Amino acid sequence: MRFFSVKLGLRSPGKLSRASTLIELMVGLGIGSVILAGLASLSSYSARTFAALANYADLDQNSQSALDRITKEIRQADGVLSYNTNQIILTNKLYSRRVSFTYNPVAQTLVATNGTVETYLTKCENFSFGFFTDVTVTNTFDQYPATGTNDLKMIQVSWRCFRTVIGQRNTESIQSAKIMIRKQ
């Protein structure tokens, strides 16, 4: 019988067991509190980081989709009816329609109108069109600015959009592209 009680780690009834003191309990609670606070902090930081990464991916996807649709319309255009830094109106004889892109700085949106109205970008704090000829400046990759609709062959679009996630503002890097009008 004695062998059985020792093997299981049972104490003999004659020995007293020692209880924890108040100091040991306080130290244990202090260490446990520090560990739990560290885990809570790490968890909060991870949640914010993952939310920001998901937001960046979504912003990039929306920007890429808008750039693809803008590029398609500009490349298919036959000409430019009017332009300024916030709006451009293109003609497309193949589809017998006009396409306009208008940036509203108050609403922070880019809207495309081609029979229907569609919002391409939202929460866009900076947007601009640039207008160029197809003649390259010597020893550079830049083109000369267009002086009218007749010599306008290339359109540059640039923008920066933002979102707020968990009280913090995430800003996407600026998207910019120069797009050649193929049919002009």
pLDDT band at 9 (very low <50, low <70, confident <90, very high): low
Sign of CA dihedral 65, 105, 129, 114: positive
* pLDDT tens figures, 102-122: 999 999 999 999 888 999 998
pLDDT band at 32 (very low <50, low <70, confident <90, very high): very high
* pLDDT tens figures, 123-133: 888 899 999 98
Q: Is the pTM of this model over 0.75?
A: no
**pLDDT attached to residue 110:** 93
What gap in Å lies between CA 26 and CA 24, rounded to an integer?
6
